[in-house]
Amino acid sequence: MEYPNTPFKSDFNTEILTKTHCDDACQEVDSNSDELEGLLKWLCSTPNITSLRVNTLTNDVEDVLNLIKAYLNDNNIKVEIHPILKEVIIIHNIPIERLDLNKEKQEVIIDVHCGASVLRGAHIFAPGVIGMQKGAQLNDKVSVYVDVNKKCKKGFCDIFNLGRKVFVGNGVVKMTRKELFCDNNSLKGIAIEMLATISGCPTLNINNLPTGSCILQNLPSIICVYLLAPKPNEVILDMCAAPGHKTTHIAALMENKGILVALDKIQPKINKLERIRDEFKANFKAFRADSTKILLKIENNMHSSNNVLNGPPFLMESFDRILLDAPCSALGKRPQFLNDSTEKIIRSFVPLQRKLFENAVALLKPHGTLVYSTCTITLGENEGVVAWALKKFKNLKLIEPPSELKLGSKGWKGTDLSDKHLSYVQRFDHLSVDVDSVGFFVACFNKS
Ligand code: SAM
325 with 425, same domain: the answer is: yes
255 with 396, same domain: the answer is: yes
Domain assignment of residue 85, given as a range: 48-92+202-217
Say if 283 falls within a structural domain: yes
268 with 234, same domain: the answer is: yes
Structure confidence at residue 32 (pLDDT) = 58
In testing the pocket of ligand 1, which one of 265, 353, 440 has its CB within 8 Å of the most ligand atoms? 265
- What percent of the chain stands above pLDDT 90? 84
What is the per-residue pLDDT across 145-177, written as a single tens digit (0 to 9) for each?
999 999 999 999 999 998 889 999 999 999 999
150 with 226, same domain: the answer is: no
Mean pLDDT (the chain) is 93
Structure confidence at residue 35 (pLDDT) = 79
130 with 275, same domain: the answer is: no
160 with 190, same domain: the answer is: yes
Say if 5 falls within a structural domain: no
How does strand 129-132 pair with strand 426-428? unpaired
Q: Which residues contact 412 (CB under 8 A, 6 or more apart)?
A: 18, 29, 31, 379, 382, 383, 422, 427
Structure confidence at residue 299 (pLDDT) = 65
152 with 70, same domain: the answer is: no
pTM above 0.85, yes or no: yes
- In DSSP terms, 390 is beta-bridged to none
Say if 167 falls within a structural domain: yes
Structure confidence at residue 31 (pLDDT) = 53
Q: Is 290 in the pocket of ligand 1 (CB under 6 A)?
A: yes
Which residue, 254, 362, 368, is CA-closest to 312?
Answer: 362
- Flag whether pLDDT at 25 surpasses 50: no
CA 218 to chain centre: 6
Say if 27 falls within a structural domain: no
Rounded Cα distance between 348 and 345, Å, is 5
Q: Which residues are catalytic?
A: 375
With the CA atoms of 264, 17, 228 and 334 taken in that order, what torsion angle do they form, in degrees rounded to the nearest 10?
80
- Flag whether pLDDT at 101 surpasses 70: yes
Q: Is 263 in the pocket of ligand 1 (CB under 6 A)?
A: yes
Question: Cis omega (within 30 of 0) on the bond before 127?
Answer: no
263 with 337, same domain: the answer is: yes
Q: Is 264 in the pocket of ligand 1 (CB under 6 A)?
A: yes
Which residue, 317, 324, 291, 89, is CA-closest to 224?
Answer: 324
Higher-pLDDT residue of 269, 205: 269
CA of 138 to the centre of ligand 1 (A): 41
CA of 383 to the centre of ligand 1 (A): 20
Please compute the mean of the pLDDT values over residues 192-202 and round it to a whole number. Answer: 96
Say if 31 falls within a structural domain: no
Question: Please, which pLDDT band fits residue 208 given cuts at 50, 70 and 90?
Answer: confident
CATH, residue 415? 3.40.50.150
Q: What share of the chain is helix, strand, coil (3-state, %, to 5)?
A: 30, 25, 45
Structure confidence at residue 15 (pLDDT) = 85
Q: Is 244 in the pocket of ligand 1 (CB under 6 A)?
A: yes
Please compute the mean of the pLDDT values over residues 285-305 and round it to a whole number. Answer: 83
- Flag whether pLDDT at 29 surpasses 80: no
Say if 3 falls within a structural domain: no
Which residue minimizes the CA distance to atom 19 of ligand 1? 327
CATH, residue 165? 2.30.130.10
252 and 53 in contact (C-beta within 8 Å)? no
Structure confidence at residue 26 (pLDDT) = 45
Atom of ligand 1 minimally distant from the CA of 355: 23
What is the per-residue pLDDT across 342-374, written as a single tens digit (0 to 9) for each?
999 999 999 999 999 999 999 999 999 999 999
405 with 440, same domain: the answer is: yes
Which residue minimizes the CA distance to atom 1 of ligand 1? 241
Say if 80 falls within a structural domain: yes
363 with 383, same domain: the answer is: yes
Structure confidence at residue 94 (pLDDT) = 96
Say if 26 falls within a structural domain: no
- Flag whether pLDDT at 30 surpasses 60: no
267 with 362, same domain: the answer is: yes
Q: Could you give the number of structural domains in the chain?
A: 3
- Flag whether pLDDT at 394 surpasses 70: yes
Least confident span in 179-183, 192-196, 221-225, 314-318: 179-183
Q: Is 333 in the pocket of ligand 1 (CB under 6 A)?
A: no
